[in-house]
Amino acid sequence: MSSWDKIVKLLEDYYQTFLNGVISTLLLAIVGTGIGLLIGIIVALGRNIKIKETDRFIIKILKRVTKVLASIYVNFFRGTPMMVQAMIIFFGSSLFGINWTNMGSWWIFNGYMYCGLFVITINTGAYMSEIIRSGLNGIDKGQEEASRSLGMSYWKTMFLVIMPQALRNTLPTILNEYIVNVKDSSVLNVIGLTELYASVSIATNKNYFKVEGYIIIAIIYLVLTLLATLLVNIIQRKLDGKKIFINPFKHTKEVISYE
């Protein structure tokens, strides 16, 4: 039996397993990147708090505590492997009365999946916060000053002026984090989560077509990441392009009627 026949046979017999694996992996990557981005924004704002000299004593302490907590979170989750974090959270949760294995299961959703989603989200959040923070720091200070000078509050300035620009500038890096997540979700099989990587062992535990199985998922991973890379490149090109944001007819009508 040649390798090619083995691959065809694996795909014929276990296409459902591989499909579920692909869906699980994509779910982990998309949810992890999406919610991780939200966490990242919040943590980046926490780390960027400015302590003013004229603040009241209690507010100074609160700000300091927020900064330290955010910094601990980021440094812990960036400084340890996701595999180790997954193990600690999966087995350590029982100390807090959470038993992942007891949760009900439906299709690809079960306790392992919930735990995996939690781990990848919280891990991505740490990386995201650094990406967002560098984006925020890259915005010219004059933007904030101009907005404040017109009377807009700190939060209005942040979410209407600074954050859109920071997100636009960091969009390629954020999508890159998604590509990393597609691949890195494979380490979550250590807690028993059957994503794409773990689906090979299910498909090959009787017929031992190991090499062929891994070749299949290598190609699938490659396709998934290449598609994302393509998307990044397109978006990047459009961001660099001069006229991408202009809708030439957006206000024309009103201007003419005004004249």
Partner 1 sequence: MNKLILSIRNLKKYFDNNVVLDGISLDVNKGDVISIIGSSGSGKSTFLRCINRLEDSNDGEIYYYDDKKSYRIDNSAYYQKKKIKSDTRKRIKTLKIKKASKEEIFKVKKEGLNQLKSLKNKNDIVDINYVRSKVTMVFQNFNLFNNMDVLENCIIAQRKVLHRSYEEAKEIALTQLKRVGLQDRVNYRVNEISGGQKQRVAIARALCMNPEVLLFDEPTSALDPEMVGEVLDVIKELSSEGMTMIIVTHEMKFAHEVSTKVVFLDQGKVLEEGDPEQVFNNPKNSRTKEFLQRYIGSNK
> Does the protein bind partner 1 through residue 150 (CB under 8 A)?
yes
Answer for the pair 185, 28: CB distance below 8 angstroms, yes or no.
yes
Give CA–CA dist 218/199, Å, rounded: 12
User: Which candidate, 13, 81, 53, 31, places its Cα nearest to that of 195?
Assistant: 31
Q: Which of residues 239-258 bind partner 1 (CB under 8 A)?
A: 242-243, 245-248, 250-252, 254-255, 258
Give the nearest distance from C-beta 135 to partner 1 in angstroms. 12
193 contact partners, CB below 8 Å, separation of at least 6: 24, 112, 113, 115, 116
Name the one range near partner 1 by CB under 8 A: 41-49, 126-134, 148-156, 202-210: 148-156
Select 107 or 245, whichever has its Cβ closest to partner 1: 245
Name the one range near partner 1 by CB under 8 A: 60-68, 156-164, 174-182, 203-211: 156-164
Select 150 or 231, whichever has its Cβ closest to partner 1: 150
Among 161, 191, 198, 220, interactor with partner 1 by CB under 8 A: 161
Select 84 or 146, whichever has its Cβ closest to partner 1: 146
DSSP 190-249: GGT--SHHHHHHHHHTTT--HHHHHHHHHHHHHHHHHHHHHHHHHHHHHHHSSSTT--TT
Name the one range near partner 1 by CB under 8 A: 109-117, 149-157, 195-203, 205-213: 149-157
Answer for the pair 131, 173: CB distance below 8 angstroms, yes or no.
yes
Q: Which of residues 197-236 bind partner 1 (CB under 8 A)?
A: none
Which segments within the chain are labelled E, that is strand? none
Query: In this structure, which amino acid lies at residue 150?
Result: L
Select 34 or 164, whichever has its Cβ closest to partner 1: 164
Answer for the pair 115, 99: CB distance below 8 angstroms, yes or no.
no
Residue 53's CB: how many other CB atoms inside 10 A? 5
Select 102 or 153, whichever has its Cβ closest to partner 1: 153
Among 4, 12, 54, 240, interactor with partner 1 by CB under 8 A: 54
> Does the protein bind partner 1 through residue 237 (CB under 8 A)?
no
Select 2 or 153, whichever has its Cβ closest to partner 1: 153
Structure token digits, residue 141:
């200070």
123 contact partners, CB below 8 Å, separation of at least 6: 32, 36, 77, 82, 85
Give the nearest distance from C-beta 153 to partner 1 in angstroms. 6
Give the nearest distance from C-beta 127 to partner 1 in angstroms. 24
Footprint of partner 1 (CB under 8 A): 53-54, 140, 142-143, 145-153, 156, 160-161, 164-165, 168, 242-243, 245-248, 250-252, 254-255, 258-259
